Amino acid sequence: MPGFASTKEKKFCTSMPMPQPRGPSGSGSPDALDPKLATRSARRQASMKEMRATLDELGQGHLFAQWSEGGGSDAKANEARFFEQMVALDASYPGGLKAYVANARQLLAESKSGVNPLEGWTPKVPTGTSLRFASTEYLEHEQVGVQELDGCSFVLVAGGLGERLGFSGIKVALPYQISTGDCYLQLYIGSILALQRRAAEATGKPVQLPLAIMLSEDTFALTEELLKANGYFGMLESQVTLLKQEKVPCLGDNDARLSPDPDDPYRLLTKPHGHGDVHFLLHSTGTLERWQGAGVRWVYFFQDTNAPCFKVLPACLAVSKKLAMEVNSVCVARRAGESIGGIMQLDKGDESMTVNVEYNQIDALLKATVEPKGDVDGPDGYSPWPGSINQLLFALAPYAAKLKQTGGGMPEFVNPKYTDGTKSAFKAPTRLECMMQDYPKSLGPEAVVGFSSVSDAVSFSPVKTNLKDARTKPKGMPTYSAASGEADIYLSNCEMLTAAGVKLPAFKETTRGGVTVMDCPRVVIDPSFGVTVADWKAKLPEPSAVQLAPGSTLVLRGDLSGLTIESLALSGTLVVDLAPGAVVTLKSVKERNAGWAFKDLAEGEEVPEPLAIRGYTL
């Protein structure tokens, strides 16, 4: 079973106070300047002086130690550049650099002394619903959820560096499979447009579902370019809001000394602050308020490379609605020991919160509290703790109200990699981070925070791991590689066909690019085919008359809203590409040809990067 956000070990931190709303702090603020300083340059000098004093006060004098002596014009320009960056960093963190350094010192000290933030908390399975994919209960939930689609909005967090994957472009531009080569962003927007069309059908009204994308300096320009070059993949430009997160300074040691760039002493190293920034940005840009005014009721958060992320949304919407959930963590059924976090309600005295507990902390927490055997499966073969994949469904009204109150700051954590057991030095500079799933920590015990979990289906298969690491993952462990992401979207579509009644050949294990994956008919179906199992059933009125031989590729693309498949026998490859508005029935279609096959790349073979990171081609 695949897993997500918690594939990186992160520290659970409850001790950090919520940062205050962002804005310029005292240091470097123009308001703090003496109004009598007449000229701009004099003001700049004063501002620089003040910032320098602040940095000295914060124990950051090392930053100036490597500056060249003397006052040449280069040095002056470099100094101005340095202070410009400082002022920007100061203004983009709640409470400014003073607060950043203070928070960092506290968290670094806690990390060094090995404080256990889970000490004293007792876990319990939170409010929620577990559904088996395509069961009667699941189908009923889908029908309830369809009635809520008109109130949905979507938030894609895509500001991450993707260091583990090692792809030089943006991850949303990667093909999610190479049978068509369509990219993640195209699939995501196509899926939202399909949900939009279904919402309009369900309500009988025109519907426009908004999408916000959180980006960073590393991903903004390329993502905007991709959208523009492709006409926003069919969405209206006005439906899409691009948000940009700022970075935070890197920290070089336990005293939170900021790290200069080794190649440029007039620049600080910075890194993303984490996807937790999304709450602040949605609030501070007025996006949530605007959506609320337009009648939005739900906000769905998803990440940059999980192709089947919308599959279970209608059913999970019904769970949110039925249980009146403020926050619904859309989960997968977790197996004990699996490297994904678990959603737990943690109680301590009068305090209670429902949060993600990282996978590396689950066993110890359970042993110390409610389960002497630790992280073990229950009688149904799954861990009782739903597996967190960071797909979150929020009710908009209480979310917007809470952010107005808190300003959107998130609790932070730090995760330094120490050089040795003395924990006195880091292998590489670290930084403070925050995670979007920590939002419930800002809620009181009265808030309904829970989960919806779907078993027996692929709904989570992100692409995060480079080929070399994927090849060396222990057998049976999910690889989160380009190969598994691709194989799993075929599998996910096959699951939908099976749920609609189609009998498929047995799937078997194979390797692609040296990575073990499950091979099934390679089915690529545009989201316009349908957004629920019931929609697929309606388009497959005689499922027993649909046959796909092992190794076949079926690509259905274009506008599939008018497509019906009555009978089809395929051995090889069939591509059906429909024009907008086409009404087509596939009847007595028999196609037999040599088909397409995947081929591993030879050592050193020159191919475009999206193929090189897979290790195979078509």
Q: How far is CA 329 from CA 54, 255, 283, 395, 576, in A?
A: 42, 36, 20, 12, 36
Give the residues lining the site for ligand UTP (CB under 6 A).
Answer: 5, 8, 157-165, 214, 216, 245, 272-275, 303-304, 464
Instruction: Tell me the sheet residues that pair with 131.
Output: 454
Q: Which is nearer to ligand UTP, 163 or 577 (CB)?
A: 163
User: Minimum distance between the CB of residue 273 and ligand UTP, rounded to whole angstroms?
Assistant: 6
All residues at 6 or more sequence positions from 504 whose CB lies less than 8 Å from its CB, including other chains: 494, 497, 498, 520, 521, 548
CB 394 within 8 A of CB 450: no
CB 219 within 8 A of CB 246: no
Cα 494 to Cα 505: distance, rounded to the nearest angstrom:
10
Q: Which is nearer to ligand UTP, 129 or 219 (CB)?
A: 219
Q: Which is nearer to ligand UTP, 437 or 516 (CB)?
A: 437
Residue 276, both tokens? 């937790």
Instruction: Tell me the sheet residues that pair with 511.
Output: 516
- Quick count: other Cβ atoms within 10 Å of Cβ 572? 15
All residues at 6 or more sequence positions from 186 whose CB lies less than 8 Å from its CB, including other chains: 230, 233
Q: Which is nearer to ligand UTP, 432 or 443 (CB)?
A: 432
Q: Which is nearer to ligand UTP, 247 or 311 (CB)?
A: 247
Q: Which is nearer to ligand UTP, 274 or 530 (CB)?
A: 274
User: Minimum distance between the CB of residue 383 and ligand UTP, rounded to whole angstroms?
Assistant: 21
CB 111 within 8 A of CB 416: yes
Q: Which is nearer to ligand UTP, 214 or 333 (CB)?
A: 214
Q: Which is nearer to ligand UTP, 43 or 244 (CB)?
A: 244
Single-letter residue type at 293: G
Q: Give 40: exposed, middle or buried? Use CB within 10 Å, 0-12, 13-18, 19+.
A: exposed
Q: Which is nearer to ligand UTP, 123 or 249 (CB)?
A: 249
User: Minimum distance between the CB of residue 176 and ligand UTP, rounded to whole angstroms?
Assistant: 14
Cα 121 to Cα 498: distance, rounded to the nearest angstrom:
43
DSSP for 55-74, written as a single string: HHHTT-THHHHTSPSS--HH
User: Minimum distance between the CB of residue 485 and ligand UTP, rounded to whole angstroms?
Assistant: 12
3-state SS, 146-204, equals: HCCHHHEEEEEECCCCCCCCCCCCCHHHCECCCCCCCEHHHHHHHHHHHHHHHHHHHHC
Angle at 322 between CA 316 and CA 327, to 5 degrees: 60
Q: Which is nearer to ligand UTP, 410 or 497 (CB)?
A: 410
All residues at 6 or more sequence positions from 193 whose CB lies less than 8 Å from its CB, including other chains: 234, 235, 527, 528
**85 phi, psi to nearest 5 deg:** -65, -40
User: Minimum distance between the CB of residue 218 and ligand UTP, rounded to whole angstroms?
Assistant: 9
User: Minimum distance between the CB of residue 441 and ligand UTP, rounded to whole angstroms?
Assistant: 18
**469 phi, psi to nearest 5 deg:** -70, -35
User: Minimum distance between the CB of residue 110 and ligand UTP, rounded to whole angstroms?
Assistant: 22
Q: Sign of dihedral through CA atoms 34, 39, 44, 46?
A: negative
Q: Which is nearer to ligand UTP, 385 or 480 (CB)?
A: 480
Q: Give 350: exposed, middle or buried? Use CB within 10 Å, 0-12, 13-18, 19+.
A: exposed
Q: Which is nearer to ligand UTP, 77 or 161 (CB)?
A: 161
- Quick count: other Cβ atoms within 10 Å of Cβ 294? 11
User: Minimum distance between the CB of residue 478 and ligand UTP, rounded to whole angstroms?
Assistant: 14
User: Minimum distance between the CB of residue 352 and ligand UTP, rounded to whole angstroms?
Assistant: 27
User: Minimum distance between the CB of residue 486 and ligand UTP, rounded to whole angstroms?
Assistant: 17
User: Minimum distance between the CB of residue 111 and ligand UTP, rounded to whole angstroms?
Assistant: 19
Residue whose Cβ sits closest to ligand UTP: 160
User: Minimum distance between the CB of residue 366 and ligand UTP, rounded to whole angstroms?
Assistant: 24
Q: Which is nearer to ligand UTP, 305 or 553 (CB)?
A: 305
Residue 395, classed as helix, strand or coil, is strand
User: Minimum distance between the CB of residue 170 and ligand UTP, rounded to whole angstroms?
Assistant: 9
